[in-house]
Chain A
Amino acid sequence: MTVERAGRPRRGGGPPGEPRRVGYLYLLPAFLVYAAFLLYPLVRSVQLSFYRWDGLTLGTWVGLDNYLEVVQDQGLRAAFAHALVLMVFYALVPLVVGLGLASILNRAKVRGLGFFRTVVFLPQVVAMVVVAVAWRRIYAPDGTLNSLLSAVGLGSLTRGWLGDYTLALPAVGFIGTWFETGLVTVLLLAGMGRISGELYEAARLDGAGPVREFLTVTLPSVRGEIAVALTLTVIAALRTFDLVYVTTRGGPGNSTSVPSYEVYHRAFELGQVGSAAAIGVCLTVIIFVISFAITRVGDRETT
């Protein structure tokens, strides 16, 4: 990067050769599809968000009302607050657990690591609907979790987990924890595997124990991986749709409604298309800001 900025000839940086117009031609088909089915809808989304429209009759221009609603409407504020709670379950918990697991595994070169990696990464490739079906079974009133609790004498704790007003959201969040922890662990393991052994030797010569070794060597070395992990998981939390749609449909009440679900619910079930578009635009902006912010912080701290 710095080399290019210093204005040296682009031997190492950019693509080789002189400017080529034919590049546009190679780009054209991809760009057409991309523009027609992603860029144009995004612009239309912004446009729709300024209207009150039921999807059938003529819409009316309402200016920023739909955005004001996002800030003021109780239900929508709750939905965004739920997304924040989900972020704890999707991003924070997996990060803490993943850091612990990965550093333990990295310290002791255990055998069977490849198998372990395959297993803990598996949730990532299973369709979310299938995941939701599995966890609905686990959380059901006559499901696995309650049988387990009864078996160990905690029968008083059994309940229909997804029908409980206070516990449904954490229950959905925990599915996210289950889903993301493997990914985060594998990601951090890869990062830790690249740390040179000499750094640990040096730390040990200084008399550092496992904890100080973790804080002074491991943690700073995987800042880039932490940034990537946080970006992935925070965005996944914000985009939770399939899981909520299949497990709770936002209920009971609106205790598990999230922004993504509200987009679908309002546009295609309530006929509040403008409002749905505004939520979608907000969601997009939030995702862009968060991923830029996390990447920036990660970059600055690694260099």
Chain B
Amino acid sequence: MKTLTIILTDGPYISQYADMAYKIASRALNLFQVNIFLYLDAVHIPKSGQNPSQFKNTGLLFQELADRGAVVRACARCAAARGYRAEEDGSCPDYLPGIKITSLYDLAEMLEKSDRLIAL
């Protein structure tokens, strides 16, 4: 199976950006191994406890992607800057399950192993 990596750099709700990424990733999971790297403000996407009154819960959408086999990782430097603390295994008490904080070197590894790249 070919591998698709999606890189996101913006957070949820300010636009439909994360929503669109979810739709692309969701469809792509039928054809690709999907990796999603959350960079810069995108590290807010998997925060637990989101409660939007008018929109779909973006965090839950990305948790669903992880449950379906997507590898969803957030940049450690960006996460630390925004107050998300990683445990030793990369999990984060403030994140939804299945989504981990990791080194930026994992992005390079994802890119090297990818057949396709979508940077939104």
Real binding pair = no
Chain B residues with CB under 8 Å of chain A are none
Chain A residues with CB under 8 Å of chain B are none
